[in-house]
Amino acid sequence: MYQKYFVWSFDDGLEQDRRIVQTLKQYNLGATFHLNSGLFGDRTYEGRIGNLGMTEVPADRFDKSKKHLLPYVEHFRLQEEEAVELYRGFEIASHTAHHVNLLRCDDATRRKEIGDDVEALSALFGQQVVGLAFPYGVGAKQCRNVLQSCGVSYARTIGTAKDFSFPVDPLALPMTSWHVKKNALQRLQAFFDTTPKNGDLFFLMFAHGYEFDFETKESNWQKFEAICRMVSGRDDVICCSIGDAFRMHEGEEPLFLYK
């Protein structure tokens, strides 16, 4: 019998993840968190245009008393010790050690940023890290050999999947939707309404925790919880980590929290 998999994919390891994890546990849902081992505790402010974060300002240079051209929200990364406790039971994946643009790096830098991050996160969280999310969504073509040499078996881009077919190229994994998209809920409902007839179906919902603080029509905490509630109420959908979706697709046992 073919399955339908839904996965949440969160980047950066932010303080907003406290509320995200609480909600995921409330609805008994799995997820994957993509972290930067070299940036624990880093604090910046993110300026947005519409529903997209466009610029970061270090906290020690940000004057909250001034009027700013863009609206800003906190982009504060968790401290290492808290992150270990908060994400217990969830899949951890790489986002490179220092959130570098892999398209602009040479292979030596790519290998260090990815390899060091995988090694550090694996040791810190006591799990073998096998996934990655490309910072800025770029570098899949240039990093394929490096990813394989670092033990990475799947890597998420910010390309958008055309349908709900199970991914054929895990090292250039597209998202199915970004929660800020106007059609995110409609696309999710279409996934629910699709019957898997010729293979497993897959839906990857991407987000940064800080985006829920935007409180715009398309990017807010209410929408996040609505998505969780929609998925949790389905008996025909498995909500899990990205890695576990691939494992179960291959007939293996899941390793992390899932519904």
Q: What's the confidence (pLDDT) of residue 143?
A: 96
Report the largest interatomic distance among the alpha carbons of the chain, rounded to a whole angstrom: 59
Q: How much is the pTM?
A: 0.96
pLDDT of residue 215: 96
Task: Output the pLDDT for position 164.
Answer: 97
Confidence (pLDDT) at 232: 95
Closest alpha carbon to 19 in 7, 5, 1, 31? 31
Dig out the tokens for 32 from the structure: 């994957």
pLDDT string in tens for the chain (259-residue length): 899 999 999 999 999 999 999 999 999 999 999 999 999 999 999 999 999 999 999 999 999 999 999 999 999 999 999 999 999 999 999 999 999 999 999 999 999 999 999 999 999 999 999 999 999 999 999 999 999 999 999 999 999 999 999 999 999 999 999 999 999 999 999 999 999 999 999 999 999 999 999 999 999 999 999 999 999 989 999 999 999 999 999 999 999 988 8
Residue 259 has a pLDDT of 84
pLDDT for position 257: 85
Q: For the chain, which domains are there?
A: 4-42+77-249 (3.20.20.370)
